[in-house]
Amino acid sequence: MTSRMGLGALRLTDRGWGPPVDRAAAVEVLRTAVDLGVGMIDTADSYGLGANEELIAEALRPYPEGVVIATKAGQSRPGVGEWVPLGRPEYLRQQAELSLRRLRVERVDLFYLHRVDPAVPLADQVGALAALRDEGKIDRIGLSEVDVDTLEAARAVTEISAVQNKYSADDRTWDAVLDHCTAEDIDFVPWRPIPVADDAVATVAAELGVAPAPVALAWLLARSPVVRPIPGTASPEHLRQNMTAESVRLSAEQIALIDRR
C-alpha cells in the first residue's frame, strides 16, 4: 500500500442509500484521496445498494498501483437504516460476482464478510469466500466486527488477512482483537476511527496546534503497526486534514494521556 491511511467510502453515496447527491464532488474526493497517497479505498456491496462500487470504478479505473480496493458482502439492506446479516454461501457468491462487475475488475484485492450471519455456520460463510479466492476472484479475505474466538474459528477454515472492527480513542471495545491481530500480523482496519469528542485528544491537539482528527488517527497508527484506519468523509478538506495524521508525531506522554482517556 502507498500509505497506511485509507478512505471509507460509505459517505459518498447519500449516507449509504442510493447514488451520491453530488456525483462530481464524490468523484473529486476519490481522486483526491489517490493523489494524496491513500493506501486503501473501502466500500461494500450494500453501500448505496451497489452505487458506491460503481462510483469508485467511474472515478478511479484504471486503478492506481498500490491502492487496495476493498469491498464486502454479507449484509442485506431491506430498508433505509436497516442492516441485516445474510451469509448464505450462494448469496455471498452472487454478491461477489456483482461486486466484480460494478468495480470492473477480474479480482477483488480484499473481500470481507461484512457481518457473521448467526443463522449460517461460520465455516460455510468463510468457506464460500475461500472458494472464491481459489477461483481467483478475490485475493485476500477479511472479517468485520468479530471477536478473537470467531477470528480463530475462521482461520481454522482459511487464511484471514484483515479484520475491520469499530475502534477509536474513545471506543476500545475490540482491544483484545487488535492485540491478537498485532501478534498474528493480521491487518486491523478501524472503521469510524475518529471520536466525535474526546477530551484527551483535544488536549493533545491543542498542544500540537493541529486539529483533533489527525491526532486521533496518529494515536491509532502508533497503537500498532498493523493498524490501517479508514476514516470516511465526503469533504476534500477533511480528507486532506485526515491524511496529515502520518506526519503527526506524538510523544510518549501524549500517547499515554490518550490511552488513559
> For the segment 65-109, what is each residue's pLDDT rounded down to a tens digit?
999 999 999 999 998 889 999 999 999 999 999 999 999 999 999
**What confidence score (pLDDT) does residue 81 get?**
85
Residue 66 belongs to a domain = yes
- The pLDDT of residue 37: 95
237 CB-contact burial (10 Å; exposed 0-12 / middle 13-18 / buried 19+): exposed
In a domain, 207, yes or no: no
pTM for the full model? 0.96
Binned at pLDDT 50, 70 and 90, residue 252 comes out as: very high
Residue reference for cell 472503521: 191
Catalytic one among 47, 91, 112, 167?
Answer: 47
91 is catalytic: no
| Structural domain contains residue 11 | yes
Structure confidence at residue 1 (pLDDT) = 53
Measured CA distances, 227 to 29, 42, 64, 168, 186 (Å): 23, 14, 22, 11, 9
253 in a structural domain? no
pLDDT digits (tens, 9 = 90+) for 172-186: 999 999 999 999 999
Q: Is residue 80 part of a domain?
A: yes
Name 242's Cβ contacts closer than 8 Å, sequence gap at least 6.
Answer: 5, 194, 213, 214, 217, 231, 233
- Taking each helix axis from N to C end, the angle separating 199-208 and 252-260, rounded to the nearest 10 degrees, works out to 160
Q: Which grid coordinates belong to 22?
A: 453530488
Which amino acid does the sequence have at 27? V
219 against 17, higher pLDDT = 219
- Quick one: CA torsion of 231, 98, 22, 241, rounded to 10 degrees? 20
- pLDDT tens-digit profile of 120-135? 999 999 999 999 999 9
- Inter-axis angle of helices 212-223 and 252-260, to 10 degrees? 100
Average pLDDT over residues 191-198: 95
**Domain range for residue 35?**
6-196+220-233
The band of 16, judged by pLDDT with boundaries at 50, 70 and 90, is confident
Residue 104 falls within a domain, yes or no?
yes
Please report whether residue 171 resides in a domain: yes
Residue at 248 is within a domain: no
- CATH code, domain with 177: 3.20.20.100
Measure Cα distances from 116 to 59, 145, 155, 161, 195 in Å: 31, 8, 14, 16, 25
Q: How distant, in Å, are the alpha carbons of 5, 24, 52, 132, 141 from that of 154?
A: 26, 40, 28, 15, 10
Number of domains composing the chain: 1
